[in-house]
Structure 1
Amino acid sequence: MSAQRPVFPEFDPDDVSSNSSANRTFGEVVGTRMSRRAALKGGTAAAAGFLVAASAASPAAARTPVNGGGDGGWESGHRPTRLLGFTGVPTSTDDDFTVPDGYRIQVLIPWGTPIRPGGPRWREDGSNSAEEQAEQIGMNHDGMHFFPLGAGRESSRRGLLVLNHEYVDQSLLFPDGADEITAEKVGKALAAHGVSIVEIEKRRDGEWRVVDSRRARRVTGTTPVEFSGPVQLDHPSLASHNDPMGTLNNCSSGATPWGTYLTCEENWNNYFGTEDESWEPTPSQARYGVSATGGGYRWHEAEPRFDIAANPNEVNRFGWIVEIDPEKPRGAPVKRTALGRFKHEGCTVTESRGKVVAYSGDDQDGDYIYKFVGEGSWRVHRALGRSPLDHGTLYVARFEDDGSGSWLPLTHGTGALTTANGWADQADVLLRTREAADAVGATKMDRPEWIAVNPKNQDVYCTLTNGSGWDNAVNPRKPNPYGHIVRWTETGRDNAALTFEWDIFLLAGDQEYDDRVDLGANIFGSPDGLGFDREGRLWIQTDVSNSVQNSPSAGYDNIGNNQMLAGDPRTGEVRRFLTGPRGAEISGITFTPDHKTMFVNVQHPGESTGAWGTPTPENPRAVSNWPDFDPTGRPRSATVVVRRTDGGVIGAA
């Protein structure tokens, strides 16, 4: 240990668990496993030891999960592979977006860009109206997907880019900040949430541009929506004082084999509050973090829809996975209730023997990992006019001491989920998914974030961004300020299987503060976004909280701004591919079919940070002025296009 261990601060509400169940934590599971193994000594050996090996009989036993080291190469005698064919970039604290030599970038669609050419122009002082914002790219870009249009080469030259807008920074959204909340401000904030769909094409000079399209649309916090699956709109828990509308806190995403987009509602509890001093949350509301103050948006002061005391069931209309068909601009988004109600970080979809399988993490400290397995062939359901996402079983993960695991069904009448135990029906189970998972004995995790499936072998990876402390010997560290990545192999490499073997792929952090970390120069913390490309590179995006970004007291002074790295799943080698501007998160990744264009999102540049200060209406540029660097403007979330100068495949040699 070469420096004092970092102090784990209170990051944000996601880091405060609402899970009071007695279920075992992932840390306790790993602690039991580790007590049965021979102790490994020393920094590098310790890091390898914490990356748990499965029993010799398991599929995971053949893997030797270790952290990569060095400047894009290997330390300790490990050989680099050709899967990562670029020179890693150093950490950065600059207000810039950096990529390796041989790559170039283009800022494509910042917040406020018209979704059609000729639409309402961006006003650098933040004075666009709610109506104008509803025709512009929303704020705080997150998960996204590229849907190609055409075939062959045309499919990588033209397509629909569909992207989420997770939340709004009201101090930057309005010219005068958020001291006063009005109905107009709430309207603009709702218009800046949701999803953007734009048609884009690549010009002959290699630059991408937005083109006019009948498919271009915004889905916002007021767009009419439908409900499908076991929880129908006529369910008493969905009875509200307003029509069903909107999707909020759209974090990561997914895409289905039939060409639709899945947007995921995460921290929806933050938008509700009340001034009614007599109001108290029900046990179910408390389990989901609903409170009188909410997340500080204060929308309830100007819009009764968000007053939890006056309109208590409106909150139950959020926390779902929402399906959008980008080819049907007039089609209503559909909330697919069979996939459960919780704080969905994302929805990663794969296939298994004709069945659809969808993985999702619940992004709060001490919550769970879920999997939905479709019933029968999704193609048959589609042929019969049914949604494959309405027919199937939702499961929650349980990790055992010996490196095995199982998927526990969240099905009414099964196990603890009976009428005698207070569960009315399957709709009740899905409305109270967290409580159902508590009841069946799922394993508490350190904030499950994005999930990715390796296209080469169907292994599943999940980022656990950090944790406030669950006796987390999985690293082992309590608390866990840096996070890690867990992976598992489903039995028979069948993603619909109900058992699996697990290990730890990577332990994040900075070895200067924690000698159990072995990343060399490629240090990072708080892994969040995650995705594979077709060649099997694992792309890792980070979301270090602005409360600790660049902070020595939290052990983040060497890690710099948030970043994206690429990893080799076969060897554990990791290299830093890009770094983002100050105050920003790197989130969202998608490729054209030829993998010669990568799209990456930069979320919330310029937000308040402990290291750089706080933006104000008088100086919104206090932390960042990226990407416009307009002396009278403000920072803007944006989608960035990354391409190689030689036109080759991103990340390859």
Structure 2
Amino acid sequence: MSAQHPVFPQVDPDDVSSNRSDNPSFGEVVQSRMSRRSALLGGTAAAAAFLVGPGAANGAAAPAAADARHGGGRPGHGRRLLGFEPVSTSDADTFVVPEGYEAQVIIPWGTPIRPEGPAWREDGGNTADEQAEQVGMNHDGMHFFPLGHGREGSRRGLLVLNHEYVDQELLFPDGAADMTGEKVRKALAAHGVSVVEIERRRDGSWERVDSRYARRVTGDTPVAFSGPVGADHPALRAAGRPRGTLNNCSHGVTPWGTYLACEENWNNYFGTTDTGWEPDATQERYGVSAEGGGFDWHLADSRFDLAANPNEINRFGWIVEIDPKRPDAEPVKRTALGRVKHEGCTVTESRGRVVAYTGDDQDGDYIYKFVGKGNWRMQRARGRSPLDHGTLYVASFQDDGSGEWLPLTHGEGPLTRENGWADQADVLLRTREAADAVGATKMDRPEWITVNPRNNDVYCTLTNGSGWDSAVNPRKPNPYGHIVRWTEKHRDHTSTTFEWDLFVLAGDPAYDERVDLDESNIFGSPDGVWFDDDGRLWIQTDISNGSQHLAEKGYDNIGNNQMLAADPETGEIRRFLTGPRGCEITGATATPDQRTLFVNVQHPGESTDHWGETTAENPRAVSNWPDFRPNGRPRSATVAITRVDGGKIGA
């Protein structure tokens, strides 16, 4: 097939940008930089070197300059980071790992969080109250918190995981039709976060055990607000006290041992039938509409009616801190980190200060960084949260490979009273508009962010783009996405300037000759990304079910969603696993000894253009993973991956 640009896959409403600002797009920045580098360094060879960063994706040697910049030789020079044979692409309804590895399904949707809890009903017939005592639906970001030290900490721990959204055709026995109050309650109970204790048995298997820490945080759990936007702020005054967290995608972990759940597509849960209601400028910028995202909760619960309860929606779009070892503590929404569609919140530290990176997952939106004020240990010793005091920045990428963090601080630049900004709380409630005002760079759906533990480089996945000059590369359109990397000045995460490049261009070389991938590592739509302690970069994909396997979308050769491992120094990438039909591969965490890797399979069996439509009458139309019961239905689940020889994962 000749090289060409495939038709951009229309995935979901988040691929439709709400950014009407005149800010420069990353596509414009990249094209300008490539043109400049090509002129200075000698044409297409320089451009190609720029695209793949420090090393070609097929494992070619890195340029010397790039090697020097990105950390030199790794510990144990000569040791291969990637020690497994890549698996093939797949269109099968199964979960595949490399030879020498084993995969065990644990805590699927509906598992009681305590042994005495309500059992899963394969017909979808569990009540709302029962669902509130079971593991939620559509697992996403997660973290393993060890319980104990040394070997004990790798044998027993708390698995804390997000539940991003619900598939209402699978959640209810009769599907999404005829929304009722009980259905809304059950859907809310299937959202949020699960805290489950797991233990590795002598035979090597993992299982859920009884625990005083076991807990569900749902869309109805009482929550607190902290930071510049307090619970008494006029914009948060709505019917009833603040409750719940919704659409938790990726996550973060603080140095003091708490979990951060991140509210992404919260706008989809709200709507109204009031024909006189119209979105204001801020609501329009956040994609709020009378129709909502198809959940129709507003038809049965006025809490989600934009006209009847207009401020309830302002209680969502935040980073939510949860202490997994304090089951009675209220989750806290940390407003200093801004209100956007948070994909995740990756926390690190520099010079004793906490730093948190987050992407706003919508086409044409931005990458943010929060830098805490002062030493975080001293803040906590004084009874203050390090996440309540600091500066929120948004990224600006320049055409010469440099970048700048622009402060979103009231009274600075355009964010003044004269320009309509009342105070810092106003800036945070309208974070997107504030970022528009300071001139941030439009990005191509910023997703997960991770930090290389070896050299502090920061990586962000850009999953795909609409092709309207917001791509993170010179492709237009950009159905495949890629990964951008930057180095903060002096490798200090509190710095306000950085240098950037592109780590890998995803896609299919049959459709785009610039892609340097082959059958061992071809992939598209990178989403989850995570570094293990040895410095392997794990990449997870979320190809839309409107694009998977379709030639007209350029995805006929890539197969089901997958997870790959990369050596960031050489650029070598290998496919590590593939998932069942209709799923997304997401969430990655490991035991401290790196001998168990936990991965989530989200929405297996979701309707796809290729495999068909999942309905209440036929819930198994696309997938029946993982139970394969004749009268069952597909279930999101966590998978525990180990090596047969007991060694480290990936090594």
- Does the aligned pair in 2 maintain the 1:47–1:516 contact within 8 Å? no
What is the SS of the residue equivalent to 1:83? coil
Q: Report matched runs for 1:291-330 at 5 Å.
A: 291-330=289-328
Task: Provide, for residues 26-57 of structure 1, a one-character-per-residue CA deviation record: whole Å limited to 9, x for no partner.
Answer: 011111112212279999958724517xxxxx
Shift of 1:520: 1.3
Partner of 2:177: 179
Q: Is the 8 A contact 2:368 2:395 kept in 1?
A: yes
Shift of 1:551: 0.7
Q: Match for residue 613 of structure 1?
A: 612
| Equivalent residue letter for 1:51 | L
Measure the CA separation in 1 of the matches of 2:272 and 2:483: 38
Computed over aligned residues only, the root mean square deviation of the Cα atoms, in angstroms, reads: 1.9
Q: In the TM superposition, what is the alpha-carbon distance from 1:75 to its structure 2 partner?
A: 9.8
Partner of residue 28, structure 1 = 28
**Residue 574 (1) aligns with residue 573 (2):** yes
2:206 aligned to which of 205, 208, 222: 208
CA distance in 2, matches of 1:552, 1:128: 40
Whole-angstrom CA distance in 1 between matches of 2:27 and 2:468: 6
Distance in 1 between residues matched to 2:42 and 2:295, nearest whole Å: 48
Counterpart CA distance in 2 for 1:129 and 1:47 is 57
Length, aligned pairs only: 638
Q: Distance in 2 between matches of 1:507 and 1:314?
A: 40
**Structure 2 equivalent of residue 430 of structure 1:** 428
Write out aligned runs for 1:388-467 (5 A). 388-467=386-465
- The change in CA–CA distance for 1:332 and 1:242 in structure 2 (over 3 A counts) is same
Establish whether residue 530 from structure 1 lines up as the match of residue 519 from structure 2: no
List aligned pairs for 1:151-170, cutoff 5 A. 151-170=149-168
Preserved contact between residue 144 and residue 589 of structure 1 (Cα < 8 Å) = yes
2:592 corresponds to 1:593:
yes
Cα deviations by residue, 1:244-292 (Å, 9 ceiling, x for unpaired): 1000000000100000000000000000000011110000000000000
Cα gap change, 1:75 to 1:379, in 2 (>3 Å): closer
Distance 2:531 2:47 in 1: 24
Change (3 A) 1:75 1:95: farther
Quote how far apart the aligned CAs of 1:476 are: 1.4
The equivalent position to 1:68 in structure 2, one of 41, 52, 57, is: 57
- Structure-to-structure mapping, 1:212-231, within 5 angstroms: 212-231=210-229
**TM-score, normalised via structure 1 length:** 0.95
For 2:451, the aligned partner's letter is V
Alignment-derived partner of residue 142 in structure 2: 144
Secondary structure of the corresponding residue to residue 418 of structure 2: coil
Q: Distance in 2 between matches of 1:68 and 1:637?
A: 31
Give the match's secondary structure for 2:503.
strand
Q: Name the CA shift for 1:485/1:355 in 2 (closer, same or farther; >3 Å).
A: same
Q: Equivalent residue for 2:338?
A: 340
Report if the CA contact (8 A) 1:568-1:574 is conserved: yes
Give a deviation string over 1:393-443, Cα, whole Å, max 9, x none.
Answer: 000000011100010000000000000000000000000000000000000
1:281 is matched with 279
- Asked if structure 2 preserves the Cα contact closer than 8 Å seen for 1:323 and 1:335, the reply is yes
112-121 or 31-40, which moves further after superposition?
31-40
Kindly state the Cα deviation for residue 118 of structure 1 after the two structures are TM-superposed.
1.8
Give the direction of change, closer, same or farther, for the CA distance of 1:607–1:115 in structure 2 (3 Å limit).
same
Q: Secondary structure at the match of 1:390?
A: coil
Which residue identity lines up with residue 619 of structure 1 in the other structure?
N
AA in 2 matched with 1:582:
R
Contact 1:65 1:506 in 2 (8 A): no
CA distance in 2, matches of 1:223, 1:462: 31
Displacement of 1:319 = 0.2
Q: Which residue of 2 aligns with 1:59?
A: none
Equivalent pair of 1:50/1:476 in contact (CA under 8 Å): no
Which residue of the partner structure matches residue 72 of structure 2? none
CA distance in structure 2 between the partners assigned to 1:40 and 1:483 by the alignment: 27
Q: Is the 1:51–1:66 Cα contact (8 Å) retained in structure 2?
A: no
2:70 is matched with none
* 80 and 621 in structure 1: CA distance in 2 versus 1, 3 angstrom threshold: farther
Change (3 A) 1:241 1:7: same
Alignment deviations for residues 56-108 of structure 1 (CA, whole Å, 9 cap, x no partner): xxxxxxxx534312xxx659999997111111001000000000000000001
Following the alignment from structure 2 to structure 1, what is the Cα–Cα distance between the partners of residues 553 and 42? 23
Deviations 1:321-379 (A, max 9, x none): 00000011000000000000000000000010100000000000000000000001100
Shift of 1:472: 5.1
Partner Cα separation in structure 1 for residue 421 and residue 341 of structure 2: 21
Which residue does 2:241 correspond to in 1? 243
Is 1:47–1:66's contact at 8 Å kept on the other side of the alignment? no
Q: Provide, for residues 159-178 of structure 1, a one-character-per-residue CA deviation record: whole Å limited to 9, x for no partner.
A: 00000000000001001001
Which whole-Å deviations, capped at 9, do the CAs of 1:109-136 have from their partners, x for residues lacking one?
Answer: 1000000112100000000000000000
Give the Cα–Cα distance (whole angstroms) in 2 for the partners of residues 9 and 43 of structure 1.
31
Alpha-carbon distance in structure 2 between the residues aligned to 1:563 and 1:617: 27
In the alignment, what sits opposite 2:375?
377
Equivalent position of 1:8 in the other structure: 8
Q: Is residue 47–residue 518 contact of structure 1 (8 Å, CA) maintained in 2? A: no
Q: Determine the structure 2 residue equivalent to 1:546.
A: 545
Return structure 1 stretches of 4+ with deviation > 6 angstroms.
39-44, 75-81
Report the Cα offset of residue 242 of structure 1: 1.8
Would the aligned equivalents of 2:62 and 2:570 in 1 still touch at CA under 8 Å?
A: no
Match for residue 555 of structure 2?
Answer: 556
**Aligned residue type for 2:597:** M
Structure 2 equivalent of residue 645 of structure 1: 644
Secondary structure class of the residue paired with 2:434: helix
- CA pair 34-330 structure 1, distance change in 2 beyond 3 A: same
In structure 2, the residue matched to 1:629 is 628
Distance 1:385 1:243 in 2: 24
**Contact 2:353 2:375 (C-alpha < 8 Å) held by counterparts:** yes
Once the two structures are TM-superposed, the CA of residue 474 in structure 1 deviates from its matched residue by 4.5
Deviation at 1:217, TM superposition (A): 0.4
CA distance in 1, matches of 2:625, 2:39: 48
Cα 1:558/1:43, change in 2 over 3 Å: farther
- TM-score in terms of structure 2 length: 0.96
- CA-CA distance at 1:510 after TM superposition: 0.4
Give the whole-Å Cα distance in 2 for the aligned partners of 1:613 and 1:47: 41
Provide the secondary structure at the position in 1 that maps to 2:274.
coil
Question: 1-side partners of 2:60 and 2:54: how far apart?
Answer: 14
Distance change >3 Å, CA 80–CA 612, structure 1 → 2: farther
Q: In structure 1, how many angstroms separate the alpha carbons of the residues matched to 2:271 and 2:366? A: 25
Match of 2:362 among 361, 364, 373: 364
What SS does the corresponding residue of 1:106 show, helix, strand or coil?
strand
In 1, Cα distance between equivalents of 2:44 and 2:325: 51
Structure 1 residues 39 and 607: alpha-carbon distance in aligned structure 2, compared to 1, 3 A threshold: farther
Q: Which amino acid aligns with 2:89?
A: T
Report the 3-state secondary structure (helix = DSSP H, G, I; strand = E; otherwise coil) of the residue aligned with 1:366.
coil
Partners of 1:447 and 1:474 in 2: CA distance = 9
Query: Quick check: 2:259–2:323 contact (8 Å CA) kept in 1?
Result: yes
What is the aligned counterpart of 1:484 among 482, 485, 507? 482
